[in-house]
Structure 1
Amino acid sequence: YGKGGIGKSTTTQNTVAGLVSLGKKVMIVGCDPKADSTRLMLHSKAQTTVMDLIRERGTVEDLELSDVLKLGYGGVKCVESGGPEPGVGCAGRGVITAINFLESEGAYTPDLDFVFYDVLGDVVCGGFAMP
C-alpha cells in the first residue's frame, strides 16, 4: 500500500526473488491496472491480464488457469489482474474478479509458502482499502 511511484512493485519483485533464491514457493498477483507487477519476474515481458482476457473472450468462464498464470524467475507463479478501460469503472473489480478466479481454479496450491498482492494505493470500490 502506498502512493504511486514509490517502488512498491520493485520492492515486491525483489523480495519475491530473494525468497525464491532461498527455495521458497511464491506467487505474485499484480493488482494494478498498469499490469507491471510481474514484469521483472517474467524477464521484462508484459503479461496479459485477467480482465483483458475476459474482455477478449466474453466471460471469466471462458478462461483457463494456464491463460493467466505464467511461471517466471525461479518458478514464481505470476498473475496480473488488470482493470477496467481507462476512465471507466473501478480497479477493485479486476482485483476481485482475478482473486475469485484464482481460488475457483485452484491456483492457491498447498505448496505455496507466500502469496504477494502488489496493490496500488487507492483501490477502494470493492478492492483493497486502508483504514
Structure 2
Amino acid sequence: MNFHYDTKVKVFILLSKKLEKLDYRPASKMLHMNEQLSILIYIFGNGTTNCQNQDRFQHSREKVSCFLKHVIQMPCRLGPTYISEPHVNSTHQTIKSNPKYSPFYDWCLVYAHDAPMLQHLRGNTFIIPQGCFYLADAGVESL
C-alpha cells in the first residue's frame, strides 16, 4: 500500500514541477502550482460545486474559477511532449491475440467517441492514413 501512495505523491510532484516550468503567466503569485493542481484534482475527484470549493479552499468564486480554468489549460501544453499518434503499421497485442477482434480491427488506429473533437482534428492536419480507419461510437454521426 505504501508503494502506491509514494508513487502517487511522486507523480503529483513531477506533474506539478512540469506544469510550473510551463507556467509563464501564473494565475496568482500567491498560489503555488501544488495548490492549484490540488484544487483541480479535488474538484474532479469529488465532483464538487464552486460553492463547496470556495468553502474548502477559502477563496472567492472568481478566484476558484480562475485557478481552475488556468490549471486545466496547463496539461494541454504537455500534449506535444507526451502524446503521439499511434504507429500505422502496428496493431495492439490485445487485438492481435483475440480472434474476436482480429482481423476485423487490425487497421483500427483509435476509437473516437467525440464527433466534434474528431472533426476538429481532421480539419487541423490530422490525416487518417490510407488503408486505416478510426472506429467511432454508434451515436456519432457520419463525418
* TM bucket normalised to smaller: under 0.3
Q: Which has the higher contact order (CA 8 A, sep 6+)?
A: 1
- Rg bigger for which structure? 2
Task: Normalising by structure 2, report the TM-score.
Answer: 0.25
